[in-house]
Amino acid sequence: MRHPLIPVFVFLGAVLLEIFGFAWVGGAVGALATVALVVITAAIGLWVFRIQGVAHWQRMQGMLARGEIPARDLLEAWLLMLAAVLLLVPGFFSDAVGFALLVPPVRSGAAGWLLKRRSVWVAAARDSAAARGETIEGEYRKRESERLQDKKDR
């Protein structure tokens, strides 16, 4: 069983690592150059993300048009979005991980590693109501027409 405070410690460790990175780079090149580096790396990273994101989206649409299920590509798209978020977070270590995820072989390897561990499905299935033995109850009603008729239908 995992300890519930592990995510807090990981987050605090990442923040301290980024602060250390700012102090180290700031001491080497100066404060203004440090801020400029953070802004420039974010801009370059988002530009590359935009280019790769469009290409990735088009590849997934092609797979869907051929009747294929783009499961691995969906995971790679999630990693691509994670790279964009990491590039927006100010810091040099998060930028390094974000830029690494922008490299297609690295992203593909990370997706393969995640799929091999099946951590994607295990995390979702572990917390589901069915895994806890709970029954999800609900109500439905059939509409006579496709038009929305009252506030309950909206």
Residue numbers in the chain where pLDDT is lower than 70: 1, 118-133, 140, 143, 145-154
Distance CA 105, CA 118 (A): 20
pLDDT tens digit sequence for 38-73: 899 889 888 888 888 888 888 888 888 888 887 788
The 3-state DSSP composition of the chain as helix, strand, coil percent (nearest 5) reads 75, 0, 25
Predicted TM-score (pTM) of this structure: 0.65
> How many of the other CB atoms lie within 10 Å of CB of 94?
20
pLDDT given at position 106: 94
Structure tokens at 6: 């592990």
